[in-house]
């Protein structure tokens, strides 16, 4: 093997050293490029943070200016906002009654849908059977009729034993006739014919209940001028009479036309409700809108609108809760008041049938107020609310950055959506409000799902919106790149 001379060895060492130096230089250059990229990324991030801080500062400044302007308006505006919200909250229960009157009572279909199901309630059916049988027995002398029949038979010249035997049959015959009447009335009241008569009469005379009553004695439901609400038995007794005659019981022809009413309420509050209804008819469907305008005006004139919206929703929810409690207490009072004439179960069924729709409106408005309260709290000026919104914004930004690293971006459309984000949010809010205002029937699930869907839509809009890029050198939004 040839040996390397000193010069050759030194040359090899020099060459190896040169290669090592070149590798070191390349390594340093690569590290420098990495450091430069990190620096650029840090600078861009710092620029974004600086721009966000500046925007926050500008917003705070604008808020401060607005707050100053609000303070210059004086506390008179706060007082006016409070008065408007209080008046609206006081009128809200009346508005609920007006909604009930306009959409339920002044419309035949709504009225029939409310009262027609009462004819199928066992408690109401039992009450009608009892009162109808009592009315027939009170107006038909069954004992006298049977006595006349037996007297006529005795005059035929029957023997003593036959007469005695005949007399012993008189009491069972009277009891049998009464039992037959009860069975016939019960069978009729539990039949579809009774429900049909009930519904037809309601359809014809429903306005009598609401307007106070034009005195139609054939109405199945009537209101007397003394504040009595009752179920009239005349049409029912007439139908039972026809059935008995058709079955061959001639004595039924003696049943006269009976004008009897089952009084289901006799109280000054009924007269008050009727007077209130007359007022509602005068103001029409506008009262709910007046309440809505008063609430909106109270929020708009307030010095701190977010706080005013919270208090307005709380006041409205409390007024609905008080109305609901009042309806529940009223049921107990109603049952006790008519207990001498109507069994408790029947009275409770009648009360629920009459005010059930009002109760449902109260629940709907209360749920709507609570929903607005939750949204207003999250969007309010509180520190925890701002922090929550900040976390949500940071999460959306992180998702957008992750998508852009994978080449997924909304481009110019996203930039336009970001520029028009306030308009888009207003459109979503108006759409949700339109659902609440115009959709019928409005139920608590509809309100909750409307709010949830609106929030989800706003979240999606926030996610697909694309804030403009920030130039690290100027810390200003850079021109949008062509996509």
Which is more confident, 235 or 429? 429
| pLDDT attached to residue 313 | 92
- Please give the mean pLDDT across all residues of the chain: 74
| Range with top average pLDDT, 50-54, 56-60, 392-396 | 392-396
With respect to residue 437, please indicate whether it lies within any of the assigned structural domains: yes
pTM, two decimal places: 0.60
Contacts of 135 (CB under 8 A, 6+ apart): 233, 237, 258, 260
With respect to residue 301, please indicate whether it lies within any of the assigned structural domains: no
**Range 457-464, long-range pairs (CB < 8 A, 24+ positions):** 457/428, 458/425, 458/428, 459/392, 459/396, 461/417, 461/421, 461/424, 461/425, 461/428, 462/392, 462/393, 462/396, 462/421, 463/396, 463/399, 463/400, 464/410, 464/413, 464/414, 464/417
Q: Which of 245-254, 263-272, 345-354 has the lowest mean pLDDT?
A: 263-272
Tens digits of residue pLDDT in 315-360: 999 999 988 888 888 888 878 877 776 777 777 777 777 777 778 8
Residue with tokens 């007469």: 163
Phi/psi zone of residue 84: left (φ > 0), alpha (ψ -120 to 50 degrees), beta? alpha
With respect to residue 256, please indicate whether it lies within any of the assigned structural domains: no
| pLDDT attached to residue 41 | 60
Residue where a domain terminates, one of 39, 56, 73? 73
Instruction: Check: CB of residue 476 under 8 Å from CB of residue 51.
Output: yes
Give the count of domains, the chain: 2
With respect to residue 299, please indicate whether it lies within any of the assigned structural domains: no
| pLDDT attached to residue 107 | 72
Using pLDDT thresholds of 50, 70 and 90, give the confidence band for residue 275: low
Domain that holds residue 57: 9-73
Nearest to 455 by CA among 417, 429, 434: 429
Which is more confident, 472 or 351? 351
Q: Which of 179-188, 190-199, 247-256 has the lowest mean pLDDT?
A: 247-256
With respect to residue 48, please indicate whether it lies within any of the assigned structural domains: yes
- How crowded is residue 67: how many other Cβ atoms within 10 Å of its Cβ? 14
With respect to residue 398, please indicate whether it lies within any of the assigned structural domains: yes
Angle, helices 192-211 vs 234-246, to 10°: value is: 160
Share of the chain above pLDDT 90, in %: 5
Which is more confident, 186 or 280? 186
Tens digits of residue pLDDT in 79-122: 899 999 999 999 888 888 777 766 666 677 777 777 778 778 88
Residue where a domain terminates, one of 24, 57, 73? 73
With respect to residue 468, please indicate whether it lies within any of the assigned structural domains: yes
Tens digits of residue pLDDT in 177-190: 788 888 888 888 88
With respect to residue 441, please indicate whether it lies within any of the assigned structural domains: yes
- How crowded is residue 138: how many other Cβ atoms within 10 Å of its Cβ? 10
| pLDDT attached to residue 470 | 47
Instruction: Check: CB of residue 413 under 8 Å from CB of residue 465.
Output: no
| pLDDT attached to residue 430 | 82
Residue where a domain terminates, one of 19, 38, 73? 73
Which is more confident, 213 or 415? 415
Using pLDDT thresholds of 50, 70 and 90, give the confidence band for residue 262: low
């Amino acid at each position: 093997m040839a040996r390397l001379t000193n010069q050759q060895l030194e040359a090899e060492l020099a060459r190896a050293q040169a290669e090592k130096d070149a590798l070191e230089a390349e390594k340093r250059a690569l590290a420098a490029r990495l450091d430069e990229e990190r620096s650029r990324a840090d600078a861009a991030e710092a620029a974004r943070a600086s721009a966000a801080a500046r925007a926050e500062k500008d917003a705070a400044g604008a808020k401060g200016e607005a707050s100053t302007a609000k303070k210059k308006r004086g506390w008179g505006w706060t007082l006016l906002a409070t008065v408007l919200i209080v008046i609206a909250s006081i009128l809200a229960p009346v508005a609920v009654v007006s909604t009930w009157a306009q959409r339920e009572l002044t419309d035949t279909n709504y009225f029939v849908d409310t009262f027609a199901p009462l004819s199928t309630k066992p408690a109401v059916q039992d009450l009608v059977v009892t009162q109808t049988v009592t009315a027939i027995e009170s107006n038909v002398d069954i004992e006298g009729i049977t006595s006349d029949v037996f007297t006529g038979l005795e005059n035929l010249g029957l023997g003593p034993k036959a007469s005695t035997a005949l007399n012993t049959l008189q009491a069972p015959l009277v009891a049998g006739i009464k039992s037959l009447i009860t069975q016939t009335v019960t069978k009729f009241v539990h039949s579809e014919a009774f429900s049909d008569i009930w519904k037809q009469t309601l359809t014809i005379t429903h306005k009598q209940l609401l307007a106070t009553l034009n005195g139609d004695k054939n109405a199945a439901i009537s209101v007397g001028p003394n504040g009595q609400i009752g179920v009239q038995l005349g049409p029912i007794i007439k139908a039972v009479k026809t059935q008995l005659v058709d079955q061959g019981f001639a004595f039924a022809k003696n049943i006269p036309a009976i004008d009897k009413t089952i009084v289901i309420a006799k109280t000054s509050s009924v007269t008050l409700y009727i007077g209130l209804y007359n007022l509602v008819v005068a103001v029409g469907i506008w009262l709910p809108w007046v309440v809505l305008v008063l609430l909106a005006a109270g929020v708009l004139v307030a010095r701190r609108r977010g706080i005013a919206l919270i208090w307005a929703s709380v006041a409205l929810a409390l007024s609905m809760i008080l109305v609901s409690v009042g309806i529940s207490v009223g049921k107990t009072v109603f049952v006790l008041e008519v207990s001498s004439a109507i069994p408790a179960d029947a009275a409770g069924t009648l009360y629920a049938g009459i005010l059930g729709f009002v109760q449902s409106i109260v629940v709907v408005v209360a749920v709507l107020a609570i929903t607005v309260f939750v949204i207003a709290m999250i969007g309010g000026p509180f520190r925890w609310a701002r922090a929550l919104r900040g976390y949500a914004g940071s999460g959306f930004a992180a998702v957008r950055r992750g998508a852009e690293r994978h080449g997924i971006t909304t481009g110019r459309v996203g930039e336009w959506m970001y520029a028009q984000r306030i308009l888009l949010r207003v459109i979503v809010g108006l759409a949700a409000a339109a659902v609440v205002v115009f959709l019928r029937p409005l139920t608590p699930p509809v309100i909750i799902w409307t709010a949830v869907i609106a929030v989800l839509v706003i979240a999606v809009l926030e996610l697909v919106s694309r804030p403009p890029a920030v130039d690290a050198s100027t810390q200003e939004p850079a021109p949008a790149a062509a996509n």
